[in-house]
């Protein structure tokens, strides 16, 4: 089956035009053509339709290949342009190539014409595909930028300000968006709710689920009595969104600032730690319940309690911090985290979370971050 070829021929000789068309049809192209020999005619032809290729004589009365080429390129068209002429010097040919012509062929050497056209058509198609790919990539990048901006807006804009406490959190996704999550919100009893969570995976899917978790917990915090009831209802409400292959680990805490009392439930999340003023680990807030989504009818009745004292520091993490690996495959691990915290124990909570995140980054260089990392620090004054 012949390949349809729409050819715009810039030529003052009708005989030469018919000769070009014959060569193309002999080569297997189902050629549709239009001949023009002046600027107004060419403008009209370019306005009328798109063309697969332009074949142009070099010098004609009142018109030239240079003028024809400029008309094509000024319109932003990437249509292949081949000069076919019996009178063009080498210098003029080189200048035409610099101006954007793809090739030039001397009349009488038409054996080169069909192969040159085939090559330029393939190159033009490759360029179009590249442009489309770049546009798609730019569109995807813009979508991801918007998603990232939206997600960043879901994290607390300000850290809680409570007399006698210094609280800060940080989350760095492995991709433009991530599935890690931390938040602070008021509870019905007047305590401060604190949550750190991790949706399995990272990227746009977990990020969307994370936003659902945030909305769900904030809404339940206004209607439920205690963090156990909040998690029980959240586990049921999120069942449809999680599906069969995802789950969420969470540690939810309730801070009674006046009594320095921290109640918590750990739903399959990495252990949080309470460090005393001297840097020793006073308490470990290990898992007390399964992750959300593993047992759809699960209950979360038991609440653990930690009594805080002045100088204490509570450290919450996601597994991306602990499991970040060096070039040799060694994980950062809990001991390195604790070392960084102890070395910066006199700093503010915000300085500590940044110090831990920066230490993880240095440890894993030059590799890219493989998982989302989230750190929350609560210091008792």
- Write out pLDDT tens, residues 301-329: 779 999 999 999 999 999 999 999 999 99
Mean pLDDT of 283-293: 93
- pLDDT for the residue 173: 86
DSSP state of 50: -
What CA–CA distance (Å, rounded) separates 309 from 260? 7
**Does residue 156 carry a pLDDT above 80?**
yes
Local confidence band at 163 (pLDDT 50, 70, 90 cut-offs) = very high
Contact predicate 303/265, CB 8 Å: yes
- pLDDT for the residue 34: 96
- Write out pLDDT tens, residues 232-254: 999 888 877 777 778 899 999 99
Q: Decide which of 69 and 97 is more confident.
A: 69
Helices 204-221 and 113-154: crossing angle in degrees, nearest 10, is 20
- Phi and psi torsions of 239, nearest 5°: -55, -45
Measured from the Cβ of residue 91, the count of other Cβ atoms closer than 10 Å reads 8
pTM, 2 dp: 0.66
- pLDDT for the residue 150: 63
**Does residue 1 carry a pLDDT above 60?**
no
Among the ranges given (4-13, 105-114, 234-243, 283-292), the one the predictor scored with the smallest mean pLDDT: 234-243
Please tell me whether residue 29 adopts helix, strand or coil conformation: strand
- Phi and psi torsions of 294, nearest 5°: -85, -35
**What is the residue-wise DSSP string for 259-322?**
TTEEEEEEESPPPEEEE-TTS-EEEEE---BPPBTT-TT------EEEE--TT-EEEEE-HHHH
- pLDDT for the residue 210: 83
Complete domains list, the chain, with CATH:
3-131 (3.40.50.2300), 155-380 (3.60.40.10)
Average pLDDT along the chain: 90
- Write out pLDDT tens, residues 174-183: 876 678 889 9
What CA–CA distance (Å, rounded) separates 269 from 179? 14
């Amino acid at each position: 089956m012949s390949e349809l070829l729409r050819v715009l021929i810039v030529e003052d000789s009708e005989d030469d035009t018919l000769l070009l068309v014959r060569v193309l049809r002999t080569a297997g192209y189902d050629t549709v053509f239009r001949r023009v020999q002046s600027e107004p005619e060419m403008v009209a032809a370019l306005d009328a339709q798109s063309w697969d290729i332009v074949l142009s004589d070099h010098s004609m009365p009142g018109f030239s290949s240079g003028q024809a080429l400029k008309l094509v390129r000024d319109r932003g068209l990437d249509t292949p342009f081949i000069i076919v002429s019996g009178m063009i010097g080498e210098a003029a040919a080189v200048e035409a190539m610099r101006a954007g012509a793809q090739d030039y062929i001397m009349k009488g050497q038409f054996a080169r014409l069909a192969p040159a056209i085939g090559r330029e058509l393939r190159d033009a198609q490759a360029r179009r595909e590249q442009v489309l790919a770049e546009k798609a990539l730019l569109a995807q990048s813009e979508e991801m930028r918007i998603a990232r901006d939206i997600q960043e807006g879901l994290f607390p804009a300000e850290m809680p300000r409570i007399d006698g406490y210094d609280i800060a959190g940080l989350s760095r996704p492995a991709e433009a968006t991530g599935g890690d999550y931390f938040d602070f919100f008021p509870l019905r009893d007047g305590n401060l709710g604190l949550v750190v969570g991790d949706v399995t995976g990272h990227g746009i899917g977990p990020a969307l689920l994370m936003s659902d978790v945030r909305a769900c917990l904030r809404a339940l915090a206004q209607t439920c009595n205690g963090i156990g009831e909040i998690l029980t209802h959240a586990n049921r409400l999120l069942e449809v969104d999680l599906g069969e292959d995802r789950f969420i680990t969470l540690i939810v805490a309730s801070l009674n600032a006046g009594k320095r009392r921290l109640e918590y439930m750990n739903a399959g999340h990495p252990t949080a730690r309470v460090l005393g003023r001297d840097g020793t680990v006073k308490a470990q807030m290990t898992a007390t319940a399964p992750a959300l989504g593993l047992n759809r009818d699960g209950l979360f009745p038991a609440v653990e309690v930690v009594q805080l004292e002045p100088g204490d520091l509570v450290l919450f993490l996601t597994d991306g911090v602990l499991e970040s690996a060096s070039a040799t495959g060694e994980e950062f691990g809990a001991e390195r985290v604790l070392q960084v915290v102890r070395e910066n124990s006199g700093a503010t909570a915000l300085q500590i979370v940044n110090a831990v995140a920066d230490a993880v980054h240095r440890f894993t260089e030059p590799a890219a971050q493989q998982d989302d990392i989230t750190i929350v620090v609560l210091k008792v004054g």
